Homo-oligomer: A and B are copies of this chain.
Amino acid sequence: MKMFEVHSVKDAKMKMIEHFNDYRLENEEIHISKAVGRILDEDIYSRLDVPHFRRSTVDGFAVLAKDTYGANESLPAFLQVIGEVHMGKEADVIISPGKTAYVPTGGMIPSGADSVVMIEYTERLDEENIAIGRPTALKENIIDIGDDIKIDEKVLNRGSRIRPQDIGVLTSIGLDRVKLSKLPRISIISTGDEILAPSEEVKPGQIRDINTYTLAAMAEEAGCCVTNKIALQDEFEKLRDIVEESIDNNDIVIISGGSSVGTKDITSKVINSIGEPGVFVHGVAIKPGKPTILAKVKNKAVFGLPGQPVSAIVVFKVFVEYFIKHIQGIDTDIEYTVDAIFSSNIHSAQGKETYQMVTIEKDGGEYLAAPVYGKSGMISLMSRAAGYIKIEADKEGIVKGEKVKVTRI
């Protein structure tokens, strides 16, 4: 029997990048109120200074710093109050030596003033006079023009995911529309003579379709637009028609099921029948997920995922999410994990990058991670898991007490 040539995870990813080096999503202009979580497709430069006037960071009195030098509680500095700045209004007083004006937090610093004394360090003597009990430094409690953002400064990078605070930056520089990568369009197809819709009554030999819903949900969480989700029987012609139509209308096509080398290795045949170069990886040294297919047809990415739900989920995480980031131009990504102590000994298949599902429990000040056992056909295995540990291909396993990093799943 022909066994397929197995690639390492790293090699398989590299081949994917080689084949789709230039593939990028188109962009669209969107209002900032709809932009959170989306990927920026332009560098953003500020066209103005923020703030565009000097602001106070405290409630206090605008002064000339040198008027306060040497002041202390027993020998305070006395200043004449010549006015008050109102929020949202231009400061209409001018501070000269010996004079001061009240400024609220965020208020405009009157011209002439070069520092603000916090109200806590002042004492009102009468309508017109205050005493200041400690010196203030030059520019203290002042945000200068452009201190936050300077004109022509780059404030956001192309390829970054827009967070709530980035919306804040965009509003502060007066931008209300930005260019974003269009959502990757993805079609999810599950094949198998045994699968039925969740609402149907199953007979012996039949199971309810898990992958279509699970993978569609993963795709949405990964920021895709799921255009199509369909489960169908392993019929070459029908599958071929649907895959071809999906390729024409999407950036990514996922076919789960039918990719193991058995009597029914239909996925790779269907893909190769549609166009060149077709399947370029069939088989990856990953556990679970060995019978993974990576393909390119009509310049679109087609993924053949194992039918086993656990394998399908792991391969989606490792390859499909990686590809989604690539076509959006996201180059850096920090992995957020939780440190835990592993609670037992496990062996992993050497030569394969192994994804071990784990539960996490808090034990005093630290977390304990325990392996979730089960066969890769079991969906409950994924649901019981809080996350996974990646065991590199050159490691033989994990020993009890070893410190591990758990990634959320």
10 contacts between A and B (CB under 8 A): A33-B216, A50-B380, A87-B193, A91-B204, A106-B192, A106-B377, A143-B375, A169-B382, A171-B208, A172-B208
Q: This chain: how many copies in the complex?
A: 2
Asked if residues A194 and B234 are in contact (CB atoms below 8 Å), the reply is no
Instruction: Report A197-248 residues with CB < 8 Å from chain B CB.
Output: 198-199, 202-211, 213-218, 220-221, 233-234
Instruction: Report A14-58 residues with CB < 8 Å from chain B CB.
Output: 32-33, 36-37, 50-53, 55, 57
- Extra contacts besides A164-B218, A165-B313 (6): CB < 8 Å: A59-B261, A89-B205, A148-B381, A156-B383, A169-B379, A176-B199
* Closest partner residue, chain B, to A226 (CB atom): B33
Q: From the candidates B166, B194, B198, name the one contacting A88 in the complex (CB within 8 A).
A: B194
Answer yes or no: A262 CB below 8 A from chain B CBs.
yes
A contacts with B: majority SS: loop
CA distance A169 to B384 in the complex (A): 10
The 8 A CB mask of A355-372 against B (1 = contact, 0 = none) is 000001010000100000
Asked if residues B234 and A167 are in contact (CB atoms below 8 Å), the reply is no
* Closest partner residue, chain B, to A291 (CB atom): B105
Interface size class of A (residues with CB under 8 A): 35 or more
Answer yes or no: A338 CB below 8 A from chain B CBs.
yes
Q: From the candidates B1, B53, B193, name the one contacting A119 in the complex (CB within 8 A).
A: B1
- Which residues from chain B contact A347 at a C-beta distance below 8 Å? none
Asked if residues A205 and B376 are in contact (CB atoms below 8 Å), the reply is no
CA distance A135 to B409 in the complex (A): 37
The 8 A CB mask of A317-349 against B (1 = contact, 0 = none) is 000000000000000101111110000000000
Answer yes or no: A264 CB below 8 A from chain B CBs.
yes
- Which residues from chain B contact A198 at a C-beta distance below 8 Å? 32, 170-171, 174-176
Chain A residues packing against B (C-beta within 8 Å): 1, 32-33, 36-37, 50-53, 55, 57, 59, 85-91, 102, 104-108, 119-120, 143, 147-149, 155-156, 163-172, 174-176, 192-195, 198-199, 202-211, 213-218, 220-221, 233-234, 260-264, 307-309, 313, 332, 334-339, 360, 362, 367, 374-383, 385-386, 408-409
CA distance A308 to B105 in the complex (A): 9
